[in-house]
Amino acid sequence: MLNSIFEAVRDDFEAVDALIQQSLQSEIPLVEEISAYIVEAGGKRLRPLLVLLAARANGYQGQDHIKLAVVIEFLHTAMLLHDDVVDNSALRRGRATANATFGNAASVLVGDFLHSRAFEMMVEIGNLDIMALLSRATNGIAEGEVQQLALLGDTSISEAVYFEVIYRKTALLFEVAAHTGTALAGASEPVKEAMSLYGKHLGIAFQLMDDLLDYEGDPCLLGKNIGDDLAEGKVTLPLIVTLRDGSTADQSLIRNAITNPDGDTALAAVVGAVQAAGGTGYTRTQAQFHHAQALKQTSTLTDSIFKQTMIDLLRFTIDRQT
């Protein structure tokens, strides 16, 4: 299904790929090597896709949406590089992470390179409103990363705080991708607001499914090990529900697994407790709610292949297994 979603903007995406390769050029060989390693790892590239779709769905006919899509992809890639260092991750998208391959120091510095290159390209676009949106978003995302770090291993985290974290850490970049693509097209304020909400709810649904798949996904499809969030001390919604609604024994099991990640608590027991308490079912219901909220926003768009693709993207987000 994902391949068909990209079909509507295939030519645009080929231009994005070409600009990515051009923009990774550096006089420092290691910069190019690590940048190429992480970008070529692939991934879904939903955030730059959203820029292209939002711009085209609102009638944009220029070329700056290509550059804007690359900006969003570079910002996201820089965050992944930093995330993997913070989380000490060894596997992403089915292969060794950049930090596992090149070391933490090089990964952090190349993340900084991609971040600064994104801002160079932002200036080239020359739209102050878009620059303001992206600047605020990157600041908010950084706050989300710090907030998540501060909450590692905290078994008292509330559902409300969890949603604050995933909004800043994940949904905010989806939101700004849709918003800036729409702004580039010169859309009206109500449409920009609708597309911003579309991106926000899409991003929340995406992260909810990510957190759900950590307890019921297939590691061969995911390209990472299930239970990674638990091992890193991340208390996500499936665990929050279990700590709230599970049996006394299951609550104790979850607390021990979170506070003592190197202990002997079996992942299978944790998964069983989460499912018994309704943690996975509740998380899926929440993802479906945000899918519905995003879908409402598409009513502001004129019918087109780009609008339909944005609707298809929502369905992919909650049906995905990777």
pLDDT, mean of residues 237-242: 96
pLDDT, mean of residues 98-117: 88
Question: Does the pLDDT value for residue 85 go beyond 50?
Answer: yes
Across 112-116, 120-124, 229-233, 246-250, least confident range: 229-233
Query: Which of 182, 165, 203 has its CA nearest to residue 127?
Result: 182
Q: Do residues 181 and 195 lie in contact, with contact meaning Cβ atoms separated by under 8 Å?
A: yes
pLDDT given at position 322: 67
Which residues make Cβ contacts (< 8 Å) with residue 72, sequence separation at least 6?
47, 48, 50, 51, 173, 176, 177, 180
DSSP 3-state assignment of 129? helix
Q: How far apart are CA 236 and CA 279, in angstroms?
A: 10
pLDDT given at position 203: 97
pLDDT, mean of residues 228-253: 92
% of the chain at pLDDT higher than 70:
94
pLDDT given at position 263: 64
pTM: 0.91
pLDDT category of residue 102 using cuts at 50, 70 and 90: confident
pLDDT given at position 224: 47
pLDDT given at position 264: 63
Within 10 angstroms of residue 311's Cβ, the number of other Cβ atoms is: 12
Burial of 260 (0-12, 13-18, 19+ CB in 10 A): exposed
Q: How far apart are CA 147 and CA 17, in angstroms?
A: 33
pLDDT category of residue 40 using cuts at 50, 70 and 90: confident
pLDDT given at position 3: 76
Angle at 167 between CA 3 and CA 212, to 5 degrees: 60
pLDDT category of residue 317 using cuts at 50, 70 and 90: very high
Report the CATH number of the 2-319 domain.
Answer: 1.10.600.10
Question: What is the distance, to the nearest Å, from the Cα of residue 180 to the centroid of all Cα atoms in its chain?
Answer: 17
Task: Report pLDDT digits (tens) over 175-227.
Answer: 999 999 999 999 999 999 999 999 999 999 999 999 999 888 654 444 445 57
Which sequence spans correspond to the domains of the chain? 2-319
Which amino acid is residue 248, in one-letter code? T
Across 210-224, 264-278, 279-293, least confident range: 210-224
Please give the structure tokens belonging to residue 178. Answer: 């849709």
Query: What mean pLDDT is reported for the chain?
Result: 90
Query: Which of 226, 275, 202 has its CA nearest to residue 49?
Result: 202
Q: How far apart are CA 178 and CA 185, in angstroms?
A: 11
pLDDT given at position 42: 65
pLDDT category of residue 76 using cuts at 50, 70 and 90: very high
Q: Do residues 12 and 66 lie in contact, with contact meaning Cβ atoms separated by under 8 Å?
A: yes
Q: Do residues 48 and 178 lie in contact, with contact meaning Cβ atoms separated by under 8 Å?
A: no
Q: Do residues 254 and 246 lie in contact, with contact meaning Cβ atoms separated by under 8 Å?
A: yes
Query: Which of 190, 176, 209, 203 has its CA nearest to residue 54?
Result: 176
pLDDT, mean of residues 278-305: 97
Query: Which of 107, 5, 99, 16 has its CA nearest to residue 63?
Result: 16
Question: Does the pLDDT value for residue 46 go beyond 80?
Answer: yes
Task: Report pLDDT digits (tens) over 126-164.
Answer: 999 999 999 999 999 999 999 998 999 999 999 999 999
pLDDT given at position 192: 97
